[in-house]
A and B are shown apart, each in its own frame.
Chain A
């Protein structure tokens, strides 16, 4: 692994849109950096502000809420 800065990103994705879009990106073979870890939720309405704070507290460099 190189010593370059590699951010870790937590993504909270809605099952019905953003998660499906991430799947579609796969079907379309769109290449993107492997730094994101997707957590599937039934709706981004489920995203408690605590989830975001917790992610930062545990060392996430970015949080994406997409839905």
Chain B
């Protein structure tokens, strides 16, 4: 209402100026908190908004306030800004309406965007037939914008935009991505790239774009570009999307100065490989793109890692500022006649604008078991919560139904109100009349009728729901870390430094893992020193027990209460612990191709590092070296990018050039994927004269023995002809392959992806958690990654694990399976059906076998209840009668 009353109209920044907003506005539909704010720069001071606000929520004369907080640690998650391409005349972004940035195109594609998700171009709002994406705008460019780094995320988002644009378009849309190197290096990214090419039909054009000019009549755009062989091509598009990179805005540079935090030459926060989230100022941590451009999963990992840093330095005072909330004793309502209260929400105008809320409220009063109804402007507001609690007491309600938004976001809050009023939280039911009614229907009569039906269904169910017990289980505060590489060691130290006793299990004789085989980090930092220091810290740490030459034999239990048998050189030790971190690493692929094993001049990356370190003659005397990239990676049988090999090749080539500046070095590659600031190594290698020749999967290099020498044949796409090199060294940039993870996955009921890496609970938002409670992932067991990323993920896993380990007890949810032992005949069908290993047939007493549910493992899915032939297994809160009454109510018209 306030926004409607506001006389001001201004460009809506969130939709990139494609549509309008008032001076009082909500930034975007999913904003948290979802509340209006006044843009003081635009506000003319009429005060209309305050007058029309029914909830009296606007404090029109509010002033900025200064608050001082005392904190023991600070985390900077300040993000980054999209690059502004207005300064680049080649693309005429500011002049031509149909040249848009990728951020603008995101809004165009969005259902809440300016065109409601229809693919339209700005000049005439017509659906385009052809769209081009131009990559690396404001990235990998020192000539026009002084950004030598790769922005890391643009390749993937451009593919995504092209695929979605095709899906949203009403006709056959032609999409073409003009790129230098396609950098789909993340977990499952390469498969997405392949699908975009093969299934969605997105065109990928390897090119350097010369210019974009406009046909002034049609506003179409004419693209001039050089193809891979250097020939100039011209193609016309209806729309051009500039895939802009990320940069640190001026405001953040100034803020960093005020905070006394060092930035590097690209204006990203300076950190080290072994301290990936620590700034130059002690106690100040950083995460996300303020550190380097990166995608969501790595930002999430770093955020938990930064939290871990804070937890370590503040572990002594953990929990000291926490105020424990207490609840009144629960009323026993068993055996009572249901007395239901129904609260119907207007949600401002979100529901009330479509649904006749008073009519729905009145209708609810007529339903059986209902003794109280009311409707509210916002049922979720704090004062209404107080009112609901009062009504529960005054009217002796024993069931509460709220008809409003969705239980996915608001059920926990209303359940809290029930608990405050002395009711069991499961005596609550919601009718979703906003997300699934008023927002998706625009006919008032139909939406009102549907709302009545939804309320009737909810009330019917409310009559049958019962109070449920929520037992607690104690938590063992110890942790188990599996894998003694850089990730496992980091996780174990982080946990022990927070005060959790930690068992660290390593299969080989010594700790250190793959990192010990490398010469130094890509930034040139020493590795073996910090690793030895970590080993020493672990060995000396009073809270760490290290088990080398050990394997996991078996495990039982669940979050907070695991029991694992470790087999050390054939001797079994059983330990109890509350959480697990899986950090078993990965290994280098041992190739069968390119003469590997036949000729000692053919080396893998790790072989090369070891040979350089011991200054072997085959290295020091070599005059010509060839690197072949993607050996075993990005192949049909291993369709993923191993992520670290391009950077390692650059780094190795520079090492060789340092030893012998005259050495001729050739890199045969498919796409160079030196993401982020690693791009500078690629630039440096080119400066030092390393020659890069691209090859295709269909036309791989050929390696033959030629007399006493090796001959490498490859087709040079720029020259368009076959060339032959006779190197003294052939280095194979081999894939990183997972270990044989299935036995461990079996022991802890963990999922692996198709390639055999451990699967996280959510690819973007829960990248360090497994789907099993209390078990976390770190390092290359999850996917190939650089040391600093493994360390960040390990710290993140330790932080997530500490959320479990720091508690004294865990509450088991009430919505779990329950077996009626009288009906159970011990057939075991439930055990077969359970995906979580939560139900098993055991001998209950002499001769009587029955199913038993481990509450902490049960997710309440109900598969056992469906499998059970006798009706003995039932899921609380979703029993047959509690579900069927909704079916009956839905159809009782």
C-beta contact mask, A32-67 vs B, less than 8 Å → 1, else 0?
A: 101001111111011110110011001110000000
C-beta contact mask, B98-121 vs A, less than 8 Å → 1, else 0?
A: 000000000000011000110000
Using known A-B contacts A39-B890, A58-B891, determine if residue A46 contacts B878 with beta carbons closer than 8 Å. yes
Residues of chain A within 8 A (CB-CB) of B437 are 34
Residues of chain A within 8 A (CB-CB) of B442 are 31
Listed residue (A26, A38, A43, A48) with the most chain B CB atoms within 10 angstroms of its CB? A26
Residues of chain B within 8 A (CB-CB) of A23 are 406, 408, 432, 435-436
The answer to whether B861 has its CB under 8 Å from any CB of chain A is: yes
Question: Quick one: closest B residue to A8, CB to CB?
Answer: B891
* 4 nearest A-B residue pairs (beta carbon): A46-B862, A26-B435, A43-B861, A28-B111
List chain B positions with a Cβ less than 8 A from chain A: 29-30, 111-112, 116-117, 406-408, 432, 434-437, 439-443, 446-447, 449-450, 453-454, 457, 815, 833, 835, 859-863, 865-866, 875, 878, 880, 883-884, 886-888, 890-893
CA distance A8 to B889 in the complex (A): 12
CA distance A11 to B891 in the complex (A): 12
State whether B453 touches A32 (Cβ < 8 A): no
CA distance A42 to B816 in the complex (A): 10
CA distance A19 to B408 in the complex (A): 9
State whether B440 touches A31 (Cβ < 8 A): yes
Residues of chain B within 8 A (CB-CB) of A20 are 408
Q: Is the interface of A mostly helix, strand, loop or mixed?
A: mixed
State whether A10 touches B880 (Cβ < 8 A): no
Question: Quick one: closest A residue to B453, CB to CB?
Answer: A37
CA distance A26 to B405 in the complex (A): 10
CB proximity of A23 to chain B, nearest CB, Å:
4
State whether B861 touches A46 (Cβ < 8 A): yes
State whether B440 touches A41 (Cβ < 8 A): no
Residues of chain A within 8 A (CB-CB) of B29 are 27
Residues of chain A within 8 A (CB-CB) of B112 are 27-29
Residues of chain B within 8 A (CB-CB) of A38 are 432, 436
State whether B440 touches A32 (Cβ < 8 A): yes
Q: Can you name 15 extra interface pairs (CB under 8 A) apart from A22-B436, A31-B442?
A: A10-B887, A25-B435, A25-B440, A27-B435, A27-B439, A31-B441, A34-B443, A37-B454, A42-B878, A43-B863, A45-B862, A45-B863, A46-B875, A54-B887, A58-B892
Residues of chain B within 8 A (CB-CB) of A58 are 887-888, 891-892
CB proximity of B353 to chain A, nearest CB, Å:
12
CB proximity of B255 to chain A, nearest CB, Å:
33
State whether B886 touches A39 (Cβ < 8 A): yes
CB proximity of B216 to chain A, nearest CB, Å:
36
The answer to whether A30 has its CB under 8 Å from any CB of chain B is: yes
CB < 8 Å neighbour of A42 from B30, B815, B893 = B815
CB proximity of A38 to chain B, nearest CB, Å:
6
State whether B865 touches A46 (Cβ < 8 A): yes
CA distance A47 to B250 in the complex (A): 56
CB < 8 Å neighbour of B117 from A10, A28, A40, A48 = A28
Residues of chain A within 8 A (CB-CB) of B815 are 42
CA distance A50 to B866 in the complex (A): 10
6 A-B interface contacts by CB (under 8 A) = A23-B436, A31-B440, A34-B441, A34-B447, A37-B453, A39-B890
CA distance A20 to B890 in the complex (A): 20
State whether A51 touches B457 (Cβ < 8 A): no
Residues of chain B within 8 A (CB-CB) of A46 are 861-863, 865-866, 875, 878, 883
Question: Quick one: closest A residue to B875, CB to CB?
Answer: A46
State whether A45 touches B866 (Cβ < 8 A): yes
Residues of chain A within 8 A (CB-CB) of B457 are 37, 39
CA distance A20 to B862 in the complex (A): 19
CB proximity of B605 to chain A, nearest CB, Å:
41
CB < 8 Å neighbour of B861 from A10, A25, A40, A45 = A45
CA distance A45 to B440 in the complex (A): 27
CA distance A15 to B432 in the complex (A): 13
Residues of chain B within 8 A (CB-CB) of A34 are 437, 440-441, 443, 446-447, 449-450
Residues of chain A within 8 A (CB-CB) of B408 are 15, 19-20, 23
Question: Quick one: closest A residue to B438, CB to CB?
Answer: A26
State whether A51 touches B884 (Cβ < 8 A): yes
State whether A60 touches B861 (Cβ < 8 A): no
Residues of chain A within 8 A (CB-CB) of B891 are 8, 10, 55, 58-60
CA distance A37 to B453 in the complex (A): 8
State whether B446 touches A42 (Cβ < 8 A): no
CB proximity of A29 to chain B, nearest CB, Å:
6
State whether A29 touches B440 (Cβ < 8 A): yes
State whether A30 touches B440 (Cβ < 8 A): yes
Using known A-B contacts A37-B890, A58-B891, determine if residue A48 contacts B865 with beta carbons closer than 8 Å. yes
State whether B30 touches A27 (Cβ < 8 A): yes
CB proximity of A30 to chain B, nearest CB, Å:
6
State whether B866 touches A29 (Cβ < 8 A): no
CA distance A42 to B815 in the complex (A): 9
Question: Quick one: closest A residue to B407, CB to CB?
Answer: A40
C-beta contact mask, A2-14 vs B, less than 8 Å → 1, else 0?
A: 0000001010000
State whether A42 touches B861 (Cβ < 8 A): yes
Question: Quick one: closest A residue to B865, CB to CB?
Answer: A46
Listed residue (B862, B865, B888, B890) with the most chain A CB atoms within 10 angstroms of its CB? B890
CA distance A42 to B111 in the complex (A): 28
Residues of chain B within 8 A (CB-CB) of A15 are 408
State whether A47 touches B866 (Cβ < 8 A): yes
